[in-house]
Structure 1
Amino acid sequence: MKVRKRALIVDDERLARSDLRALLERHPEIQVVGEAGDVDEAVRQIIDLDPDVVFLDVQMPRKSGFDLLSEIETQAQIVFVTAYDAHAIRAFDINALDYLLKPVSPERLQRTIARILESETPAKAPAGERPLTLDDHLFVTSNKRARFLKVHTISCLRGADDYTEIVLATGETVLMRRSLNEWERRLPEKHFVRIHRTAIVHLEFVKHLESAGDDTFLVFVEGLVDGLPISRRHATRLKATMS
């Protein structure tokens, strides 16, 4: 059978890497092209090997799997491998392919490989997920590139149909196929406020409001040059929330 996916294993435990490699050898659809024992080595391997999928340990000394995805952009599908169920699920709140609990069972790995082969992009997370907190990390993909971002760094979100543009306080933006209504349900309501059918703002990053005439205002936030539209009614509510 022709090899379809090239894989990199990242884990600080040599035995864990060896065990996972042995399990993957049973699946000719997957070719293990490299291993890394820490984040710095993983960054080099991803650049050099350009793998299709990375089996990534969550907790490692000095730097975690989260840190790896904060340091480098990759088009690879990410499968987290962890001994900490709750920790892994926190990382899978928005978009991710899958996660495996240690010790990895052959049956569970089989299901993961099926997902790898079925999808070119990380799968959309299931409905009914728990509310987010400011401390959560979001695993997001944009233009087939994966990365982590922290909820507390989001300045605002702008929506159009089924897509949302996430704007960070730094000015960086990420476009995701997820409606603004879904974000409103999950973001912490004490910190994020819907100001318009097309926008949600993070109160911490609101700079000021300006009148735009005809009972409308503009809300200016960190990371955006242009203001976001808001009605007088919502402006009054926003001011009360911020006071």
Structure 2
Amino acid sequence: MSLRALIADDEIHLAEHLRSELAQLWPELEIVALARSGREAAAQIAAMEPELAFLDIQMPGLTGLEVAEGIEGPTRVVFVTAFDEFACQAFEQAALDYVLKPVKTERLRKTVQRLQASLLASTPSSPVQGDGGALAQALQQLQGPVAAAAPSLRYVRASQGELMHQIPIDEVIYFHADDKYTCVQTAQGEYLIRTPIAELAQQLDPQEFCRVHRATLVNLAHLAGTRRDELSRLFLRFRGLSQELPVSRAYVHLFKAM
């Protein structure tokens, strides 16, 4: 099986140029789709789950950052953009690289080498770089088994003022990253822990907790319903809680049935 990639850019000539450059630098990489908008990219990534996605940032519908934020499968991201001010946000989305336009061949060559090294890092006995099948297998080993092996949390120890509390996970309504802390919201009140939201996501049962924003994980068992405002933004309502939570556009599709 070859390693597959998607390219998303609303300027199709730039997407074609990137595909041509990648064909020269990484012949084994199969470009399975060219997307011209953020929504098209999100839909194709969800449908095909390519191992890599090269995303422009400024696109109609959804930005590349929002597309990356909404990826649920194994697809890893490289941002290709004319804007350097989004680099910090890009790497918050675990981007493998951040390439500035106009794309230079030598810079892209370094990106390809970085991608190959990253995807082969956990397989010491893998064949030499350039073997697409080996890269795909390495990516699956990096992404799948690690997450599956992580035990689900049953309790969290969280502080409220000077007191520490042991809170059962099923009582948590949502977790929200806030500066240096993560807020733990229950029907009884708000507590604080230092565990990063990304680390929590790996330890929580994905059948119970759902990401609705880069910084927010909600417990579906407490969900009471949804509401849309006059701008068609989606909000979640919870039993035992007056506060509503906004859903990032990249995750709205998860609640279409409601």
TM-score (norm 2): 0.48
Give the secondary structure class of the aligned counterpart of 1:85.
coil
Give the AA of the match of 1:24.
L
Say if 1:223 and 1:41 are closer, same or farther in 2 by CA, change over 3 A. Answer: closer
- Residue 171 of structure 1 and its aligned partner are, at CA, apart by 4.5
User: Are residues 1:19 and 2:17 paired?
Assistant: yes
| Post-superposition offset of 1:44 | 2.8
Give the direction of change, closer, same or farther, for the CA distance of 1:37–1:94 in structure 2 (3 Å limit).
closer
The 3 A distance-change label for structure 1 pair 94 and 34 is: closer
Once the two structures are TM-superposed, the CA of residue 77 in structure 1 deviates from its matched residue by 1.3
Matched, 1:28 2:19: no
Of residues 7, 10, 17, the one that matches 2:8 is 10
Tell me whether 1:108 sits opposite 2:99 in the alignment.
no
Classify the secondary structure of the residue corresponding to 1:28: coil
| Distance in 2 of aligned mates of 1:4 and 1:49 | 14
Q: TM-score, normalised by structure 1?
A: 0.51
Kept in 1, the 8 Å contact 2:38–2:60? The answer is: no
Mapped to 2, the partners of 1:96 and 1:53 lie a distance apart of: 10
Write the letter of the residue equivalent to 1:101. L
RMSD: 4.0
1:188 maps to which of 171, 179, 188: 179
8 A contact 1:207–1:220 mirrored in 2: no
What is the Cα deviation at residue 172 of structure 1? Answer: 5.9
C-alpha displacement of 1:118: 1.9
Give the secondary structure class of the aligned counterpart of 2:30. strand
Offset, 1:121: 9.0
Greater helix content: 2
Task: Supply the distance in 2 between the matched residues of 1:101 and 1:58 (Cα, whole angstroms).
Answer: 11
Aligned in 2, Cα 1:94/1:219: closer, same or farther, shift over 3 Å? same
Q: Is residue 206–residue 220 contact of structure 1 (8 Å, CA) maintained in 2?
A: no
SS of 2:99 mapped into structure 1: strand
What corresponds to 1:126 in structure 2?
A: none
Contact 1:208/1:220 (CA < 8 Å) preserved in 2? no
Checking the alignment, whether the CA contact within 8 Å between 2:173 and 2:186 is kept in structure 1 is no
Following TM superposition, by how much is the alpha carbon of 1:61 offset from its aligned partner in structure 2, in angstroms? 2.0
Name the counterpart of 1:139. Answer: none
Gaps of at least 5 residues in structure 1 are: 123-142, 146-157, 160-166, 175-182, 193-199, 210-217, 226-243
For residue 233 of structure 1, what is the aligned residue in structure 2?
none
User: Given residue 28 of structure 1, which amino acid in structure 2 is its aligned partner?
Assistant: P
Equivalence for 1:86: 85
- Residues 219 and 208 (structure 1), Cα distance of their counterparts in 2 relative to 1, 3 Å cut: farther
Name the SS of the counterpart of 1:61 in structure 2. coil
Unaligned runs of 5+ in 2: 122-141, 145-155, 158-168, 194-216, 222-258
* DSSP 3-state at the match of 2:119: coil
Kept in 2, the 8 Å contact 1:82–1:88? The answer is no
Structure 1 equivalent of residue 231 of structure 2: none
- Aligned pairs (5 A) from 1:122-201: 144=143, 171=173, 188=179, 192=181, 201=183
| SS of equivalent residue, structure 2 residue 74 | coil
Write the distance in 2 (CA, Å) between the matches of 1:43 and 1:5.
19
Alpha-carbon distance between aligned partners in 1 of 2:218 and 2:60, rounded to the nearest angstrom: 33
DSSP 3-state at the match of 1:78: strand
CA distance in 2, matches of 1:10, 1:78: 11
After superposition, what is the alpha-carbon deviation per residue over 1:117-173, rounded to whole angstroms, capped at 9, x for unaligned? 222399xxxxxxxxxxxxxxxxxxxx838xxxxxxxxxxxx79xxxxxxx9xx8567
Give the conservation status (yes or no) of the 8 Å contact 1:7–1:34. Answer: yes
